[in-house]
Copies of this chain bind each other. A is one copy, B any other.
Amino acid sequence: MKERGECHMDLNERKRKILQAIIEEYIGTAEPVGSRSISKKNELGLSSATIRNEMADLEEMGYLMQPHTSAGRIPSDIGYRFYVNSLMKRYQMSVEAMERMQLEFQKKVTQLENIIKKASMLTSAMTDYTAVVSTPEFHQSQIKKIDLVALGGETVMLIVITKDGIVKNRILSMAINDSVAARFAEILNRRLAGLTNDEINFDKIREIQDEIQSELNLHPRALVEILDFIYKTIESIDETEVYVDNVKSILKYPEYSDLGKAREMLSFLDNQKNLRSIIGKKDGDEHVSIRIGRENEFEQLYDCSLVTVNYSLGEKVIGKLGVIGPKRMNYAKVIAFLDCIASHIDKILYELYMEGE
């Protein structure tokens, strides 16, 4: 068996323990680790001097190295390799993480999502700035149909279709068979179809709860959970989400050679809430909006410009797309590009949702 780049001399138990402690400490802190900090943890009951001697050995053997004479040690590639091969303990994925992943994979990607993603990709590719695109807000979407399909196992797929053609589907776990699912769906449709999602509030849901309880014999707790889920799904139809692309571009511009500022900006753009409030709500009736520096609402954007344009379904403005870049951006070019992309989106959305009418 070929061990990659590993010393043949074996390590005794103590050396292994120390090496492991050092590597794990370093993984956590990214600072060279000194003998004192290992000794302090007192897991081995050794003084710093002893650790020091062992560390010197480990360095000689190639597992550790010193960035400079008076610093602590950091693991060498060989050290990491030994850790990965022999020291590291297996990690068990949490059930929640597993479930989250499965759910994410099962979620179907809608055509709309693809359009929005493509738009953000194109915007960032063509302008070389950070692109932000909001998903369309179809206000007061009328519910057209609700479907509940038993998929086998303990999973059921909930599908909500609006008059505008939006399809939301989610997986939920619930042990029912086809016929119960059908009757459940029938009740939901009878009570909810034709209503806008604004009209479907909590009271409405409670009414339905009673009816279903009396018709179908479901566990009350389970029922509440399911209805809650349905409620959230319906509510989420109009929840706008913002796609961001090419955040890394901000690093290209010298105004962000201050790493601290760059990091702050990155975490600002990581937060959906922030994004929604800069691009989510439609303010003013202008098609093209330009916010330069302090004209922006948020302090974090005081050094940036935000240029956005609206996109529409028919006559109604339903979303925005834009770029965030340095104040010294190429405004003319950006506006031309955004305008062009937006009118393309308009066309595509029209074909998708209005042509049939």
> Which A residues form the contact surface with B (CB < 8 A)?
4-5, 23, 26-27, 30, 75, 77, 80-81, 83-84, 88-93, 97-98, 101-102, 104-105, 109, 114-115, 117-118, 121-122, 126, 247-248, 251-255, 257, 259, 262-263, 266, 290, 292-295, 305, 326-333, 335-337, 340-341, 344, 348
Contact = CB atoms under 8 A, between A and B. Distances in A.
User: By CB atoms of chain B within 10 A, which of A262, A294, A328, A332 has the most?
Assistant: A328
Contact of A292 (B77, B104, B331): B77
Given A81-B292, A126-B101, A328 B27 contact: yes
Nearest to A119: B105
Contacts of A294: 77
Contacts of A305: 80
Contacts of A329: 27
Nearest to A123: B101
22 contacts: A23-B328, A30-B255, A30-B328, A77-B292, A77-B295, A80-B327, A81-B292, A84-B292, A84-B331, A88-B331, A88-B332, A90-B332, A91-B333, A97-B126, A98-B340, A101-B344, A105-B122, A109-B114, A114-B114, A117-B117, A257-B259, A259-B259
Contacts of A341: 101
Contact of A263 (B30, B247, B251): B251
Contacts of A332: 88-91
Contact of A122 (B104, B109, B259): B104
A292 B266 CA distance: 27
Nearest to A111: B109
A266 B337 CA distance: 25
A191 B253 CA distance: 53
A129 to B, nearest CB: 13
A30 B75 contact: no
Given A84-B292, A109-B118, A255-B30, A91 B336 contact: yes
Given A101-B126, A336-B91, A290 B118 contact: no
Contacts of A253: 30
A4 B209 CA distance: 53
A335 B97 contact: no
Nearest to A102: B344
B266 A93 contact: no
A259 B252 CA distance: 10
A251 B255 contact: no
Give me the 10 closest cross-chain CB pairs, A-B, nearest first.
Answer: A91-B332, A77-B293, A27-B328, A91-B336, A109-B114, A91-B333, A80-B292, A30-B254, A93-B336, A77-B292
Contacts of A80: 292-293, 305, 327-328
Contacts of A333: 91
User: By CB atoms of chain B within 10 A, which of A80, A81, A336, A341 has the most?
Assistant: A80
Given A91-B333, A251-B263, A26 B328 contact: yes
Given A93-B337, A109-B118, A295 B4 contact: yes
Contacts of A102: 344
Given A254-B30, A266-B248, A329-B27, A336 B5 contact: no
